Amino acid sequence: MFGYVRPAVDKLTEEDKERFAAVYCGLCHTLGNRYGFAARWILNYDFAFLAILLSDETACSCGCCRCVVHSFRPKKTACRTPALELAADESVILSWWQLQDGIADHGFWRGLKYRIARFFLKKAYRKARELRPAFDKSTQQHLAELSCLEKENCSSLDRPADAFAQLLSDAADSVPDAVKSRVLRQMLYHLGRWIYLVDAVDDLRQDAKEGAYNPVALRYGLPDGVLTEESRQALSVTLDQSIRVMAASYELYDFGLWSDIVQSVVYEGMYAVGHSVLAGTFRKRKRKKQADSV
């Protein structure tokens, strides 16, 4: 996954911001403790959001930890919980299969970075596969479906998005509460659909340059990878619909102390990110931000 899910910060209280950051750090520590230092590099906001959705809604115990990034000032960090472990395991498995996909899609030189990353993630993946064999199997199966659709140059938006969405919604199976599990399945399905489509839009130009498969380009006939006003409108509508289903589903379960964070994601954050991806400014911001932080 790719780090598109962001809460709208100006809608969060200091406490909520701190809690979100604690989950983010907690997930990073969980990845580190469970899978070694290399696995920490797969961390991103999407997985942190997944961890929040899976978390217990009544309690969040935090400790203070140091790490490479926060080596001087210890940071408030969520303690290891089954939800964080689940999110960590699933992120390792997902990242692994995405790397495999990257290797299959690219030639020797372009695929080199994927190969190097795979080398570092191999041990972690083996462990994660042992811990979550069912999730590994379904991920592999859905990504195989996805690559079939790519090979036949499928021009539907929904079919390839469905494969990715199904994959993500399988994470809901491990939730014992029946209502929460149903609500999460629906939320994760549309989260997956949204992430897949937003990522496809984000990759439009690069895919056009490389001649790679892109469902958005095929659906709206955009061979040069530039969105027309019409296609931008149509995409906005379809993205909005997934966000609205997520929001409506969110209202059916009490997410307790995570409510405000989830709410700020499904009522604003996703719209904002979608908007900046469609406007072509998302990557620029990211690069600028990385440059700032160095």
Helix or strand or coil: residue 23? Answer: helix
Closest separation between CB of residue 199 and other proteins, Å?
A: 7
Closest separation between CB of residue 150 and other proteins, Å?
A: 15
Q: What is the DSSP letter of 265?
A: I
Looking at residues 153 to 172 of the shown chain, list those that interact with other proteins (rule: CB under 8 A).
156-159, 162, 165
- Cβ(265)–Cβ(242) below 8 Å: no
Give dist(CA 69, CA 21) in Å, integer.
13
Closest separation between CB of residue 289 and other proteins, Å?
A: 6
Residue number with CB closer to other proteins (141 or 238): 238
Q: What is the DSSP letter of 266?
A: I
Per-position x/- string for 129-148, each x denoting binding to other proteins as judged by CB under 8 A, each - no binding: --------------------
Buried-state track 241-271, b at ≥16 Cβ within 10 A, e below 16 = ebbebbbebbeebebebbebbbbbbbbbbbb
Tell which one of 35, 114, 213, 258 touches other proteins (CB under 8 A). 114
What's the Rg (C-alpha) of the chain? 19
- Cβ(225)–Cβ(207) below 8 Å: yes
Give dist(CA 140, CA 146) in Å, integer.
10
Closest separation between CB of residue 218 and other proteins, Å?
A: 12
Stretch that binds other proteins, among 76-84, 133-141, 145-153, 272-280 (CB under 8 A): 272-280
Looking at residues 33 to 52 of the shown chain, list those that interact with other proteins (rule: CB under 8 A).
40-45
Looking at residues 194 to 253 of the shown chain, list those that interact with other proteins (rule: CB under 8 A).
199, 203, 219, 232-245, 247-249, 251-252
Tell which one of 34, 129, 142, 193 touches other proteins (CB under 8 A). 193
